Structure 1
């Protein structure tokens, strides 16, 4: 039978001495981590301050050299409801460069549509993508027509009013940009990182479309971004495009709120001022930074207008699910709050 040896007094002292030493080491590491963390936070603050000052200086120079264009009037809201008082709703319209087949020899249409809603109470920004192949009632047209044709028929105001009626919410502001503006914007911020889910190859010489992208994670330039956004020769067609637009928008917003984008703000403003059709006063740089800060500090998600495919491939909104989505974006006001 083995005899259990008692530890000697000296060994007991050694064991007891190790515990305070271990504690000191752990506290030392914690202090080092806190010190490094504080340094990183302070360094980031200084860097952001310098970038902000640089961007402000550049923008001040730009304003002196380039007087701002006249601001277009806001669109009168077609829907008046207290539940929308604390929101700003903006319709983002992506304009195609190609003529609309069947309705004229030339003209442009709304190739992509997205509602941006800013909640001034919570600071949250929400996004709702709308498929262009929704058939709906359009003012001045005898029969329901595609939502994308509204820009051809009446420009941004008609598109805004049609979407406002479709969703039953007030929209008074809009930003419309074409492919060239988007390409310049993407190139200015250094490209967008995204995972291309499949090989994309499509040629249409008559329409001026050439798409060749490889599957895999990559940084898309402005031209590559256009190819990714235009591709629709898969099983989902236009709805597949909307999913890619959602994915691209999320990647673009992630890049937009990164610190490396801040020095490019004056150039971005120049691109927007020269290439956008909008009734928003562009642009006080402090307002842009406030928006970027809101996006940085709040989670954002992009969802698509609920619906189903129709017999002809149209996207038919599901009224019950659309109403649910709108109620989630804009919670109904209780009677007590309304009073």
Structure 2
């Protein structure tokens, strides 16, 4: 039997339909390809814009960084003659605990009416860069020193109210014959906050402490014995001045406190508290260190030695006729500094 053939009209219609479908698919493929090109072009434009924005932003930051770094290098180069090369292996930081100033009296305020402040606590922290060993020199606030750039003398604590931290730094460098790399000033309220952030400090209070000074806004009342001191009580312990030992006794208590604080800070439990302490230091503490110096100091602190710091008080005697003044023993100071900062020849040939 022979097969029946489809009508010519039906075959031609199918061919036309398939041709239309093919043309439609080709057109759709072309339109999709065109759409892809448009989207891809838009993406390239946006990506290019973002890249250019990031580039210009980064270039601005880099340029700002370069400007600051060049200014920093110029200042370092200008200060280089003031820094004794024999202290290159150390990071010497002068720490000044600043009081709140007198609360009354027109002669106790500056031009803006703010109370004149004193450097109530003065310590030089010296960190040996290679080993992380810490040495601390406490300087009694009533130490009698020449005023830099003047023919007069005064208590070192009083220099802060007349010339600020920089004047105290100059006086300390002249007194010790040591280069001070950076300084830090901290007020008592901020210091108390740091102690509270650490969770307080355990310390033996060697005697009953009772002292009131309304003018200086001081009210100290601590009992003898081992105690866990919160921030406010820790400040009271540091600022208490007995009638028998005066400023010397306060400096000795500062030494004991620093040892206890160092031991507390080196505990594992302190690690989670570091961010909170760092924030306080960044926002509430005044320092001469710039970002580049801060990076160096942070690196040095990261390698701190766990051994207890060597603490030393400026040697001297009370002045004749005024036992509130501490007169430095120049010879003893020189001998002590030579031990703290031995020369390479001394180290190699003990």
Q: 2:95 aligned with 1:92, yes or no?
A: yes
Q: TM-score, normalised by structure 1?
A: 0.72
Question: How many angstroms apart in 2 are the aligned matches of 1:115 and 1:221?
Answer: 24
Please state how far the C-alpha of 1:216 moved relative to its aligned partner: 0.6
Q: TM-score, normalised by structure 2?
A: 0.70
Give the gaps of 5 or more residues in structure 2. Answer: 1-67, 110-114
Distance 1:171 1:290, change over 3 A: closer
- Range 190-199 or range 313-322, more displaced: 313-322
Kept in 2, the 8 Å contact 1:90–1:174? The answer is yes
Please state how far the C-alpha of 1:156 moved relative to its aligned partner: 1.1
Match of 1:246 among 228, 252, 255: 255
Question: How many angstroms apart in 2 are the aligned matches of 1:170 and 1:114?
Answer: 14
Q: Secondary structure at the match of 2:338?
A: helix
Please state how far the C-alpha of 1:333 moved relative to its aligned partner: 3.5
Question: How many angstroms apart in 2 are the aligned matches of 1:102 and 1:84?
Answer: 43
Task: Pick 1 or 2: higher relative contact order, CA cutoff 8 A, min separation 6.
Answer: 1
Distance 1:158 1:206, change over 3 A: closer
The alignment covers a number of residue pairs equal to: 267
Question: How many angstroms apart in 2 are the aligned matches of 1:148 and 1:222?
Answer: 23
1:169 matched residue in structure 2:
178
Match of 1:104 among 104, 108, 112: 108
Question: How many angstroms apart in 2 are the aligned matches of 1:146 and 1:303?
Answer: 20
Q: 2:281 aligned with 1:278, yes or no?
A: no
Kept in 2, the 8 Å contact 1:79–1:168? The answer is no
Please state how far the C-alpha of 1:77 moved relative to its aligned partner: 6.0
Q: 2:339 aligned with 1:328, yes or no?
A: yes
Correspondences of 1:36-55 after superposition (within 5 Å): none
Q: 2:298 aligned with 1:295, yes or no?
A: no
Question: How many angstroms apart in 1 are the aligned matches of 2:314 and 2:81?
Answer: 20
Match of 1:117 among 119, 123, 126: 126
Distance 1:77 1:227, change over 3 A: farther
Please state how far the C-alpha of 1:305 moved relative to its aligned partner: 0.7
Distance 1:189 1:288, change over 3 A: farther
1:158 matched residue in structure 2:
167
Distance 1:79 1:322, change over 3 A: farther
Question: How many angstroms apart in 1 are the aligned matches of 2:335 and 2:208?
Answer: 36
